[in-house]
Amino acid sequence: MAEGHSPAEYVTHHLKHLSSGHDDAFISMSAWHIDTLVISTLLGLAFLTLFRIAAVRATEGVPGKLQNFVELIIEFVDNSVKDSFHGSRAFIGPLALTIACWVFLWNCMDLLPVDLVPMIWAKIYGSMGHDPAHAYIRVVPSADMSATFALSISVFILIFVYSFKGKGVKGFALEYLTHPFGKWGFIPNIILNTVEMLAKPMSLALRLFGNLYAGELIFILIALLPWWAQIIPGLPWAIFHILVITLQSFIFMTLTIVYLSMAYEHH
């Protein structure tokens, strides 16, 4: 734990964003979370660069380790899409791959030592003439509700796109107004279908945020212990958290595929 900070100050400091304003809410309405935007962009570029290198170096002969790794991921995602989505996979496949890899990289940032990036940023911030005590930064984009909702809203928009694409405007309207109680129960139908529609992005965003925010908070609390005592709870939690970050990226990808499949098909 940083010297001169009480436990409450230490936790509060690590939970504040580097932002363009002074909005400390979970979802910022008046300020941009610059740390989330920068780190998400860098992780996205890392994902694209890695897969681009693998594509350029791909051979028909004996594949290298990178090609094997990338082909394994692509085959797994493609099989997941094939099992759930029965239309053209030209867009859904790359979308699912991007979500799975990007969210996984988001989540992996939770495994970095709690004070590593904040210490580096404090030195940079201080060298710029600012007070290092106010050098706030958070490195786990999926622990920022603004990021998880932004991603889930993108999926939400695609649900409407694929609903119109698969059913047409008339088919979507008929299903929305007449399912599940028939044409005479259109008011309950509207209420139920609206709740169901809104629950999809909410469940995507809140599930990912809740798990990673809890994980981040536990790592911060472990960091409050003396350095020699951190290994006892820290190592088991880190090992368990590897499963959590992998599972959460898989769940987000799978639910995206399922929601788009449900939107595309007639019922």
- The 3 state secondary structure assigned to 26-39 is CCCCCCCEHHHHHH
pLDDT tens digits for range 207-249: 999 999 999 999 999 999 888 888 889 899 999 999 999 999 9
- How far does CA 105 lie from the centroid of its chain? 9
The continuous run of DSSP H or E covering 261 comes out as helix 231-264
182 domain-assigned: yes
Report, in angstroms and rounded to the nearest whole number, the Rg of the chain calculated over CA atoms: 22
Quote the CA–CA distance of 37 and 20 in Å, as a whole number.
11
Domain that holds residue 32: 7-264
Q: How confident is the model at residue 91 (pLDDT cuts 50, 70, 90)?
A: very high
pLDDT over 70 at 144, yes or no: yes
Quote the CA–CA distance of 76 and 151 in Å, as a whole number.
22
Average pLDDT over residues 36-63: 93
Average pLDDT over residues 91-120: 96
127 domain-assigned: yes
Return the pLDDT at 28: 57
Return the pLDDT at 6: 83
Q: How confident is the model at residue 199 (pLDDT cuts 50, 70, 90)?
A: very high
Domain count of the fold of the chain = 1
- Mean pLDDT rounded to a whole number for the chain: 90
Quote the CA–CA distance of 178 and 92 in Å, as a whole number.
28
2 domain-assigned: no
Q: How confident is the model at residue 143 (pLDDT cuts 50, 70, 90)?
A: very high
Quote the CA–CA distance of 142 and 124 in Å, as a whole number.
24
Return the pLDDT at 261: 94
Instruction: Please name the residues in contact with 62: beta carbons below 8 A apart, sequence gap of 6 or more.
Output: none
35 domain-assigned: yes
Would you name the residues annotated as active-site residues? 203, 207, 211
1 domain-assigned: no
Secondary structure letter of residue 224 according to DSSP: T
Residue that wins the pLDDT comparison between 19 and 31 = 19
**Residue 19, SS3?**
strand
pLDDT tens digits for range 20-37: 876 555 565 667 899 999
Q: How confident is the model at residue 147 (pLDDT cuts 50, 70, 90)?
A: very high
Secondary structure letter of residue 181 according to DSSP: T
Residue that wins the pLDDT comparison between 177 and 151 = 151
Quote the CA–CA distance of 71 and 65 in Å, as a whole number.
10
Average pLDDT over residues 2-31: 75
pLDDT over 90 at 8, yes or no: no
